[in-house]
């Protein structure tokens, strides 16, 4: 389990994304949630910087980054 660092709410009403850090494995990841607070996907970013992962979460929230619809 990791520590939550930030939250990005979707501008298009599709939920929110939380950026977390796993201190043990020194890795950042994003948890994606729908509007009912149900987590539908977790994306790992091994070897990426915090800035990179936060940009990915923000891009998803803005509708720029798309997840495979089969994940939902």
Q: Whole-structure pTM over 0.75, yes or no?
A: yes
Residue 11 is predicted with a pLDDT of: 84
- Residue 12: pLDDT over 90: no
pLDDT in tens, 18-72: 999 999 999 999 999 999 999 999 999 999 999 999 999 999 999 999 997 655 5
3-state SS, residue 60:
helix
DSSP string, 39-56: EEEEEEETT--HHHHHHH
- Residue 3: pLDDT over 90: yes
> Once rounded to an integer, what is the mean pLDDT over residues 5-28?
95
């Amino acid at each position: 389990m990791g520590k939550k660092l930030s939250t990005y709410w979707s501008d298009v009403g599709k939920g929110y994304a939380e950026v977390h850090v796993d201190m043990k494995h020194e890795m950042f990841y994003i948890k994606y949630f729908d509007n009912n607070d149900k987590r539908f996907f977790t994306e790992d970013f091994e070897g990426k910087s915090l800035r990179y992962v936060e940009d990915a979460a923000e891009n998803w929230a803005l509708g720029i980054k798309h997840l495979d619809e089969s994940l939902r």
